[in-house]
Structure 1
């Protein structure tokens, strides 16, 4: 049904031309309709895709020194006598220092100087001088590069956004999960996906329910799972979240969380733990129950994870991460192209959003056409 929205700008342009059009202006109507279609096509493309978390690790860090570019422009002007002349204008553009890292996934991420310095101090490889290509460079422009030292404990990980077509989420199939509102999720103590921001290279992979009190997530816990995601993310196509709930909520909390996250993204293994907080800081927290979920056809790693936590009742995220390194081969991601037969559907909410956007773009197009041709 939503595909009919593609016709709206064309229909509006045609009706406007028939009602108030000027014959010699017909190319304007065609051009306006085509231009109006572009943001609608983009909106359709974006709204039919869901976000997933993609992780990698830095294979090298770079520093490109400040440099100056010489820009030559030819400017045409008309003098007081109506004659046309062309003059050459030379400008100098300053480009500041930049620091960035390249990931094993091929993505480049800009970092701050302090981050670059910290990484260089951690990696035990030699820093190399480089000569980055800069067109029309008249001064500066050198740089340095330091490669990763292949030490797992020195991994610098990063998580960024990917987009994929989720055929299941808005379908009418048995695989679709019913929506849980944000208000209901808050009442149930469910967990939101962590935000991806430019301020941080990585996102939290160990998350805690608002209902769970007395449990502190240490940096060591976060880094243990972040390293797994970064090191194995691209190769195994996996991203792990560990979610902690109050044990008294029962395993139903994991079921509701699965529903709230619509089963998770295609590459996710979500591990839900029911935690009994320790009465003493000297004693570890205990795992009362574990439920893992993913889209895998054969959930071998899901089942093995549940068994591991039930065998290791003392909360040990670092130990679980170490175990994962030897068992990551149990993971076989579900190919979402298997759901392609369902087609690309939109939920009523998403259909409403793109309908409002289409009407807005179409209205602007009509106003511009009338302003140029009639008013």
Structure 2
């Protein structure tokens, strides 16, 4: 049973059995979140209560609280030897973290894949893919991810997950502020939830898109529709302000800096490159101080009298011996023979053959 069926079925049954649903009719508890939350407290770990609580909280636009509940559910699954439940809770935790901390979601996604190793849990795997989609929302790679997920869901026959994927699609489109695509996604969601299962997904999609709710689902939120709308819209605005800095999702105005490579293809860090360039500048400054014959003083307005190349090399060897220590010295001597003093040639170029230290 996936996370969404937990909300619509397990909580409802528990609430009806315990009488906590009050006068709510059958089928109404799933859209009565306060009643569902109260009922979830009585499910215990066998009823996957932490996962149900997590489901309820992310639907309210509170993914931080959902992530904490999923973590508790994963821990309980591990403690009781329920590896499948632990894997599923971790997949949902990755999804919740991706909503509010996309840069931190990669570690959670990787951990979910580790939990899934050796298990054949197709719905859980799709939930991990949904987490990747949310993490990358707003980037150029998401449209392909959505198309692939739709195909996989159709092939696997997991149609109950379709509204969740379409809601994630709406989140991506809202980050891009693609109103045309949002209207199309909303139309699809209405059709997919026409049997009133997950009808509140349409409400959430409209919160995300900052659109008025034109056809209310009649859901009772944990606090109020206004607060829920503000939280969901806040998640979109936060992502627009700070997009995920991962593959395919760099902010367009600040592309990733190219990395320099040394011999053997070893990457050099920016810090190492700055140190190397600093040494080069020091070498040139030392060389520039030695380009005149010792004792010569040119009058103001006249060109300085340069020493011969051989004399310059001998002067540098005596006065600046530390410059000529290996491996730096060979390059400095080559510059003394072949390059005019003060030349900028070579900075950031010939040193690419030097391996990282």
TM range (shorter): under 0.3
* Greater share of residues in strand: 1
* Greater share of residues in helix: 2
With structure 1 as the length reference, what TM-score do the two structures score?
0.21
With structure 2 as the length reference, what TM-score do the two structures score?
0.22
Which is higher, the Rg of structure 1 or of structure 2?
2
Higher relative contact order (CA 8 A, sep 6+): 1
